[in-house]
Amino acid sequence: MLLILISWIYIFLITSTIAVGINSILKLNKIDPIINLFLGFFYITLFTGFWAIFYRVNWEFHLVTLSTSIILAFHNRYEIKAFYKNIKTDFYKLSLPLKSLFILIAFLALAKSATSPYLIDNESYYIQTIKWINEYGFVKGLVNLHPFLGQTSGWHILQAAFNFSFIYDKFNDLNGLAIIFANFFSLVKFNKYYNSSKKIEDLIIGLFPLSNIFFFQFISAPSPDIPVYIISFLIFYLFIKLMDKYSYVNFFTISILLFFIVLNKLTSLPFIILPTYIFIKNVKNPKIKLQKIIFFGGVTLILFILKNIIITGNILYPIASFDIINTTWSLPKTINSFFYDMTKIFGFYLTKDEYNSRNGFELFITWISMPKLHGLFNNLLLIILTIFPILAAFKKVKKSIIIIYILSIINLFLLFVTSPQYRFYYQFLLFFSIIILTYFIKNKSTYCSFLILGTAITLIPILFLNNISKLTNNNFHLTNPTLSISEITTPHENTRYSKKYESIKGENIEFNSPTKIDFFWGTGDIPLPALNKKQYEWFKESYHVVPQMRTDDIKDGFYSKVINSSPSLP
């Protein structure tokens, strides 16, 4: 915990300095300090991404980043001083119970971040994606080594910038810091709602911490879902404000957050509806300016395309229909189609044959009949999305919230035909659950009790609860790691598995395979290049394809070699 805290303080200082410095250059002011920090995350992600195209993100990167921060701090010392003063003022404005609650939440986030990672995706590609960026930057055809590595998220790029792998190998804890930022922002707005504003957007985002019990289960691994949830709520908040009163600063901010959320998860692309609607609504407003927004949008798009081309050879990997660029390192169409189909049917927990044999209605029944947590969230979403318009017919609802509701329906439809996993729509479930709650409860003390109770419940799985088999059928998610005494000072390894491995010689490749991981896709935190031999043998036997190094230098990347022209079906 102690070491993580030190790294978070450094990240906070660097991010705030870069955010304030760049926004000063852009002549943007009066941005909420916490939103400013997420803009800083975005700026650093862009810089790190373009750096990774040419070089590894290692000590050289940090030397440049630190030097840039020092220069910006010197030239913007008054603005940075005002930034810290605003955060201090926001904290002191909180009532004593809310101050205490925030300190407890921050402590719990720190404690949870120090424990063993929970998510199995961490073991299949989070760790390895970040490790590749740290040691080599973006590598051509990396997807040929492991198809999951083609999903490199903007959040993994940012985590690679802030895990300090050249001095310590146990930092992958950016989600915990993001949760702390989000909770502080929420509690400030909650306090503001009852003390002065009475604006619904302040209350909605003020109740965001009610979901900490859910978020905290994932913050010990660098899952891009957590920042997507947080940024989604910031976008909802700004959209409601913009619908009430146009502000260029808020319009710029919501656009930048949109670019960031899409860079983190392509499934967030429908969110473009919100800033687009604001633009259309204010197109005749002389204050509507697009130059800076177009610049950052263009830069983000260029990074997204270059990243995908280098790593996968496909602009919109894993969508096979967008495989329009023919490179020597592109994934074979059979493997690309397999991975895309696997992603699509995973949300239904069906085999490919089962999925293809069912019509839309049968798939819907399957989706709502799924067991445990998946079925619970699927049904909750449908109930919430059904209740909201009924209540809205009897209650006055802002047009902005209705537009967000329409976005949620569009988003759910698109997910249903791609991969309707609850983690891709959880932000809408939370948002409309909170809105419905605000219809029935107005009392501040009741909400405070909810927030305190929710935080208290969050404490249980961190310190006591280990077995959660009643919530999931996933054999890799049956136990929830708790905090150990040693982790108070030194965090757990970035993996829950042993780091033991064996070296295996292929044709034109030698890779490391874990010896203590029985998970088919699992590689854990072993040296590069890492590949589970079970996966290697399965693709070799089922598709007659094996990964190969493009040259004798690993930095030159990988390609897939077809060793038989007639692949068999899996």
Q: What is the pLDDT of residues 412-460, one digit of tens each?
A: 999 888 888 888 899 999 999 999 999 889 889 999 999 999 888 888 8
CA distance 377 to 374: 5
Residue 484 lies inside a defined structural domain of this protein: no
Which domain range does residue 519 map to? 502-562
For 54-81, how does the pLDDT look when each residue is reduced to its tens digit (9 = 90+)? 999 999 999 999 999 999 999 999 999 9
Residue 109 lies inside a defined structural domain of this protein: yes
Residue 472 lies inside a defined structural domain of this protein: no
**Which amino acid does the sequence have at 50?**
F
DSSP 21: H
Burial 208-220 (b: 16+ CB within 10 A, else e): bbbbbbbbbbbbb
Report pLDDT for 217.
Answer: 81
Q: Which of 222, 56, 219, 217 is nearest to 152 (CA)?
A: 222
* Residue 324 in this model has a pLDDT that exceeds 60: yes
Report pLDDT for 469.
Answer: 45
Report pLDDT for 285.
Answer: 80
* Number of compact structural domains in the chain: 2
Contact 555, 531 (CB under 8 A): no
Report pLDDT for 321.
Answer: 64
* Residue 570 in this model has a pLDDT that exceeds 50: no
| The token pair that represents 92 in the structure block | 């002191």
Contact 114, 172 (CB under 8 A): no
More confident residue, 128 or 570: 128
The model's confidence at residue 481, banded by pLDDT at 50, 70 and 90, is confident
Share of the chain above pLDDT 70, in %: 95
The model's confidence at residue 332, banded by pLDDT at 50, 70 and 90, is confident
Residue 473 lies inside a defined structural domain of this protein: no
Report pLDDT for 477.
Answer: 47
More confident residue, 357 or 257: 257
Report pLDDT for 479.
Answer: 59
Report pLDDT for 218.
Answer: 84
| The token pair that represents 221 in the structure block | 């691994």
For 512-539, how does the pLDDT look when each residue is reduced to its tens digit (9 = 90+)? 999 999 888 999 999 999 999 999 999 9
The model's confidence at residue 1, banded by pLDDT at 50, 70 and 90, is confident
Average of per-residue pLDDT across 498-505: 93
- Cis omega before residue 318 (within 30°)? yes
Average of per-residue pLDDT across 180-205: 94
- The runs of H, that is alpha helices, within 393-512 are 399-416, 426-440, 444-463
Contact 209, 455 (CB under 8 A): yes
The model's confidence at residue 567, banded by pLDDT at 50, 70 and 90, is very low
Residue 521 lies inside a defined structural domain of this protein: yes
Of 353, 379, 398, which residue constitutes the final position of a domain?
353
Q: Which of 267, 262, 242 is nearest to 252 (CA)?
A: 242
* Residue 568 in this model has a pLDDT that exceeds 50: no
Residue 443 lies inside a defined structural domain of this protein: no
Q: Which of 121, 138, 21, 111 is nearest to 71 (CA)?
A: 21
Contact 181, 38 (CB under 8 A): yes
Of 309, 331, 353, which residue constitutes the final position of a domain?
353
Residue 46 lies inside a defined structural domain of this protein: yes
475 three-class SS: helix
Contact 429, 380 (CB under 8 A): yes
Average of per-residue pLDDT across 349-372: 85
* Residue 322 in this model has a pLDDT that exceeds 70: no
* Residue 405 in this model has a pLDDT that exceeds 80: yes
More confident residue, 323 or 301: 301
Average of per-residue pLDDT across 178-204: 94
Residue 493 lies inside a defined structural domain of this protein: no
CA distance 464 to 70: 43
Average of per-residue pLDDT across 468-495: 68
Report pLDDT for 569.
Answer: 37
**Which amino acid does the sequence have at 562?**
V
* Residue 145 in this model has a pLDDT that exceeds 60: yes
Residue 522 — φ and ψ, nearest 5°? -75, 140
Of 353, 378, 395, which residue constitutes the final position of a domain?
353
